Chain A
Amino acid sequence: VLTQAPSVSVAPGQTARITCGVSKIGSKSVHWFQQRPGRAPVVVLYDDSDRPSGIPERFSGSNFGNTATLTISRVEAGDEADYYCQVWDNSSDHPVFGGGTKLTVL
């Protein structure tokens, strides 16, 4: 089970950090998804810290030990969304999602 805080709040221009935790997650590749209300999820980071084309450099990631982190710098109102982490569970051989974190831009 991937553990995410239910909510994170940050003021515009500040930095948001969204974490995803499980034992030894640092040994796995973590992917991050953004889901705006009423929309399908969109991958914003893959393989811990790689950005697909079109994703701003403000989105970055790290993954060490038991915690993976999605960092959003210079947060904008448009970043307000739910964010999900995902790994591939080798024991069950399928994707697993975190519970999601709602990012609120104050």
Chain B
Amino acid sequence: QVQLVESGGGLVKPGGSLRLSCGASGFPISDYYMNWIRQAPGKGLEWLSYINSDSSYIKFADSVKGRFTISRDNAKNSLHLQMDSLRAEDTAVYYCARTYGSGQPLDYWGQGTLVTVSS
């Protein structure tokens, strides 16, 4: 069955870096756009970034543009988010999710990984 599993979260100091990964099973990520979405404690969902099937098209939310990098390895069926210059306001649960393309729903999500930015 379709499964997405995030990893790499943890506690990091302000200004630090962290690399999140999302492993997929049950489907080839090469057929999908892959997204990162986050949810700060007690807050709503915030879309962060997506990468298209062949990595030729990438979008970021303004809140993380220039600090976060998204990448994918279709051969390993995995997605990554490199987060640099982390701030306290980046503290959140980070989810990966797939979508078939522009306008399509984010139909499967991982369980999320918690990132805490604190000194």
A-to-B contact residues, CB < 8 Å: 29, 31, 33, 35, 39-43, 46-47, 52, 82, 84, 86, 88, 92-100
A46 touches B105 (CB 8 A): yes
The answer to whether residues A42 and B109 also contact, given A88-B102, A93-B59 and a CB cut-off of 8 A, is yes
Contacts of A94 in B (CB 8 A): 47, 50, 59, 61
Q: Which of B35, B45, B102, B109 has the most CB of A within 10 A?
A: B45
The answer to whether residues A43 and B61 also contact, given A88-B102, A95-B35, A95-B47 and a CB cut-off of 8 A, is no
Please report the C-alpha to C-alpha distance between residue A88 and residue B59 in the assembled complex, in whole angstroms: 13
B68 within 8 A of A: no
B35 touches A40 (CB 8 A): no
B95 touches A40 (CB 8 A): yes
Contacts of B109 in A (CB 8 A): 40-42
B25 within 8 A of A: no
A43 touches B105 (CB 8 A): yes
Name 21 interchain pairs, CB-CB below 8 A, sorted by A. A33-B106, A39-B111, A40-B109, A40-B111, A40-B112, A41-B95, A41-B109, A42-B109, A43-B106, A46-B105, A52-B107, A86-B45, A86-B105, A86-B106, A92-B59, A94-B47, A94-B50, A94-B59, A97-B37, A97-B47, A100-B44
A43 touches B107 (CB 8 A): yes
Contacts of B61 in A (CB 8 A): 94
A84 touches B107 (CB 8 A): no
